[in-house]
Chains A and B, each alone.
Chain A
Amino acid sequence: MNVEEALWYVAASWSIVFAGIVALIASTARRSRRLKRQLREAREAATRQAGVHSRPAGRDDARPPMRPPS
């Protein structure tokens, strides 16, 4: 086998592995970010809903519930 051919095989192997690793890390990070965002939104919705239920009936001027620190 000539050197040029060997070089192609080696370059292809190393770049495929490193590209695969980068893709794995990127997909893990993206999923983690998406889940964190969804959790934050769900918590905000839960806080809003708890506020609606805890407000006394017939009193629109009741103090809104305190938001948990973000």
Chain B
Amino acid sequence: MDTDMQTDTREDQSSSRGTARWSRLYSTPALFVWAALLLVTGALLAFLVAPVDASAMGFSQKIFYVHAPVAETALVAFAVSFVAAVLSLRRTAATDRGPWADLETAAIRLGLAFSVLVLITGMIWGRAAWGVWWAWEPRLTTFLLAVLVYASYFVVRAATDDEDRRAVIGSVFAIIAFVSVPLTFFATRYLPEGLHPVVITSSGAQMEGSMAATFVVCTAGMLVLLAALLRSEMTAARIRAELAETRDALEGTRP
């Protein structure tokens, strides 16, 4: 009996050690390292392995390996904010809502940061491919619209000082704002007069194998980076909440 218990304890300890070892692989610093490795590999693949595009774009096609992954990461961040907003609204207690509302805000903030990079690299792409910095074509216009809608999220949230009310208003706005994401994604697929190329179609990636591999590695790097940044933002939100509690307690005990 005693031996069995000792064996169980030993197994528990070794399994918790194993879990700890695995969890170290996806801790926040580890995620940053993974993202850096993937992005550096992606850069090496883009410039050393992926062939120069045979079309008129030529060497400038290599903008695609940063522009498209950053764009997808921005859209994923907005999708995360949508899910967090739904989960936040499903909670009835303000304290339960807090972490989801924090995740929603962090995802929108990061999504906007990535969107700014998309707009800048997209303008450079436009100059290289079409000879203009900006064209009012469906993809570009809908993406700009999405960015403006998400930027106004912070204005809407600032309309009230009440913490819980702000979280509810923010979540409702984040859900409504998400309509702009599929609109952007499908704009090039269903509106034929667009200039923007469609690379990933229902019949697969419209590019050579090594180009597709480079694109996948760069996208994975950006997504892992997003996960690392989101985790950092959540840690910061937790510390901020703890700080507010400590300061409230301090105010309460002050004579």
Contacts and interface: CB of A to CB of B under 8 A. Distances in A.
A67 to B, nearest CB: 15
Interface string B214-255: 000000000001000100110110011011001101100110
Contacts of A66: none
Contacts, number: 89
A7 B254 CA distance: 63
Contacts of B58: 1, 3, 6
B253 A9 contact: no
A6 B59 contact: yes
Nearest to A50: B253
Q: Say whether chain B's binding surface is mostly helix, strand, loop, or mixed.
A: helix
A12 B32 CA distance: 24
Given A20-B117, A31-B236, A9 B128 contact: yes
Contact of B116 (A20, A36, A38, A45): A20
B120 interface: yes
Nearest to A48: B250
B60 interface: yes
Nearest to A42: B246
B62 interface: yes
A12 B133 CA distance: 14
B215 to A, nearest CB: 14
Interface residues of B, number: 38
A35 B229 CA distance: 16
Contacts of A35: 236, 239-240, 243
Contact of A21 (B125, B225, B246, B250): B225
21 contacts: A1-B60, A3-B59, A9-B63, A9-B124, A9-B125, A10-B63, A12-B124, A13-B124, A14-B66, A17-B66, A17-B70, A20-B113, A21-B39, A25-B229, A28-B236, A31-B236, A35-B240, A35-B243, A36-B239, A43-B246, A46-B246
Interface of A: 1, 3, 5-7, 9-10, 12-14, 16-18, 20-21, 24-25, 28-29, 31-32, 35-36, 38-39, 42-43, 45-46, 49-50, 53
Interface of B: 32, 39, 43, 56, 58-60, 62-63, 66-67, 70, 110, 113, 116-117, 120-121, 124-125, 127-128, 225, 229, 232-233, 235-236, 239-240, 242-243, 246-247, 249-250, 253-254
